[in-house]
Amino acid sequence: MSSKNLLWRKWEGIEAGRVVLIDAVRGRSWTVRSLSDESMRFAEYLLSYATGERIAFRLPNGPEWLVLFLALQRAGLAAVPLDGGLPAEGCVETARRLGARAVYLDGEFHALGKARPPFKKYGCVKVTSGSDGLPNAVECRAEHLIADGEQIIATMKIRPGDRNLAAIPLGHSYGLGNLVMPLLLQGTAMVCAAEYVPRQLVEWIGRYGVTVFPAVPALFRVLAALPPGPQLAPLRTAISAGAVLSPDVARAFFERYGVKIHNFYGSSETGGICYDRTGSASLSGRSVGKPLEGVSISLLKGRIQVKSGAVAKSGGQWLLNDGGEWNRRGELVLLGRLGQSANIGGKKVHPLEVGRMLRSLSGVTDAAVWIQQGRGRHFLAAGVETTLSRAKMERALADRLPAWQMPKCYFLAKKLPRTARGKLDLAALRVRMEGQKG
């Protein structure tokens, strides 16, 4: 079956009168029919493009995001969702780099001239940062997105009658798999807002009957620290992805709300990979759970290789730069990014192992470790998100690591800088560490 219009045809199979989107701020709701009707306002403009051409857009979570995404699927075009926080100039530059024919900004389409040849099989281009920090394209056919959605739905037991709280960006791989696909494939409604403060999320969960909440560790940490107040009924499932979830945060959230957070691991190239089905692994920090239904994992010299229908690469498999190992329960333990090591005192040190040990300490919610050089020697530097003093943290770490593996330089803060995707911003962290020295 051709990919052209495949997501649109899936969407047309949902009951037209079903409410699938709620604006949390205004309380307004949209049905399948109303979103479909709204998508027609883009139809005439999109007719001027050839099947498979890329159209980039920057929109916040909300009805217009879904309307344009649906219009692009109906027209057989490749949607390129850009980060909502990217300035207009950056959007244009990124869209050109990714080969888009046009970019939609602030209610208008802007032609970009020469573009890459159409990819007639692609329904969406995920935008992800490469090793050089520049945006890279992960070209997904509709079949990849559908497989990812179906695997997530089956493993996480997301039902048509559930309501998702859309706090993560719809256009990121996480948002596409956990929010957009359940809506398009089975009509699972989402509650969203272009902007919010964390306290509002607690209120909206109760007001709109939210049952599933995918978010990032940094947001769960803030919610866990809120003063006593409303609980999260009727929330059934809280999901954490995008960065490492500290067991301290998972336990604090559980103590505050009585809801376990389920670790979820995936990538833009593969979609969802592993899931902690019970939430108990997240409380102890022991793993990211077991492979999703339909996903198989093998370890090649410690590197994680994923095979599934959601892998947007030839052959349906992808070798990640992440290291991993299996524990006795058959769960995947992430060891971090591979490829970096240093000889310190004649012994090989892997920063990812030291970072994992730091994150396992009580009182540490996140950490990043990297190699630096000074006076002709290598040493380890670490940024640590913690409330502990350096002395107390180092004493705890010394119980787990030999002296030659201990970092020599630290930047400690209650809250470390993060990217829009919720990951630690390593570039900003290094700048802050340099400023600390000054």
Residues of CATH 3.30.300.30 domain(s) within the chain? 342-437
Domain with CATH 3.40.50.12780 in the chain: 1-147+159-194, 197-338
Give the pLDDT score at 346: 63
* Phi and psi based region of residue 376 (left: phi greater than 0; alpha: psi -120 to 50; beta: remaining): left
Identify the three-state secondary structure at position 152: helix
Measure the CA–CA gap between 236 and 201, rounded to whole angstroms: 15
What are the pLDDT digits (tens) for 407-428? 999 999 999 998 766 778 888 8
The superfamily in CATH containing domain 197-338 is: ANL, N-terminal domain (3.40.50.12780)
Q: Give percent of the chain with pLDDT exceeding 90.
A: 68
Q: Do the bridges between strand 54-57 and strand 78-81 make them parallel or antiparallel, or are there none, so unpaired?
A: parallel
Q: State how beta strands 377-386 and 409-413 pair.
A: parallel
What is the tens place of the pLDDT at every residue in 350-373?
787 788 889 889 999 889 888 887
Task: Determine the pLDDT at residue 341.
Answer: 67
The CATH fold assigned to 342-437 is GMP Synthetase; Chain A, domain 3 (3.30.300)
**Is 433 within 8 Å of 425 (Cβ atoms)?**
no
Q: Tens digit of pLDDT for each residue in 220-230?
A: 999 999 998 89
Band (pLDDT 50/70/90 cuts) for residue 379 is confident
* pLDDT band of 399, cuts 50, 70, 90: confident
Question: What's domain 1-147+159-194's architecture?
Answer: 3-Layer(aba) Sandwich (3.40)
User: How does strand 135-141 pair with strand 122-129?
Assistant: antiparallel
More confident position, 64 or 246:
64
Q: What is the dihedral of CA 281, 252, 363, 356, to 10 degrees?
A: 20
What's residue 1's pLDDT?
Answer: 38
pLDDT of residue 225: 94
The Cα 34–Cα 39 span in angstroms is 9
Q: What is the pLDDT of residue 337?
A: 73
DSSP 230-287: ---TT--EEEE-SSPPPHHHHHHHHHHHS-PEEEEEEETTTEEEEE-SSSHHHHHT--
The helix (run of H) or strand (run of E) holding residue 426 is helix 426-437
Whether the per-residue pLDDT at 175 is higher than 90: the answer is: yes
Q: Which residues make beta-bridge pairs with 103? A: 56, 110
> What pLDDT, on the 0 to 100 scale, is given for residue 315?
87
Beta-bridge mates of residue 132: none
Q: What is the mean pLDDT of residues 210-215?
A: 98
Helix ranges (DSSP H) in 158-207:
173-175, 181-186, 198-207
Q: What is the pLDDT of residue 118?
A: 72
Reported as a single tens digit per residue, the pLDDT across 8-26 is 999 999 999 999 999 999 9
Within 10 angstroms of residue 147's Cβ, the number of other Cβ atoms is 24
Helix (H, G, I), strand (E, B) or coil at 118: coil
Distance CA 316, CA 306 (A): 8
